[in-house]
Amino acid sequence: MQALVEREILLERRQAQSEPESLWDKLSLAQKFAASSLTQFGYDLAYIRSSQQGNVAILLRDDIVATIADDGEIDTSPTIKVRN
């Protein structure tokens, strides 16, 4: 039963973060500028991953992944796994 409750909480959190406007609000100013430039190439802001170094924005274009660090640094060849 506990596992089911934890799963539901995770699903609710993932769905709540899927609204693009609320995701953009969570980006730093540097990330917003960088993400804006990537959207011109067809990338979409998918989600934000929190880490000890700060928030990392994850953008997707088809099966291509790009990340943006808190300071706005873009990585178009990140070593992360994205779940479908």
Percent helix, strand, coil in the chain (nearest 5)? Answer: 40, 25, 35
Q: Measuring CA to CA, which residue among 48, 52, 6 is closest to residue 28?
A: 48
How far is the CA of 33 from the CAs of 19, 24, 38, in angstroms? Answer: 19, 11, 9
**b (16+ CB within 10 A) / e for 38-53:** beeeebebbebeeeee
pLDDT tens-digit readout, 12-66: 444 444 555 688 999 999 999 999 999 999 999 999 988 787 889 999 999 899 9
Which pLDDT score is estimated for 60?
A: 95
The helix (run of H) or strand (run of E) holding residue 4 is helix 2-16
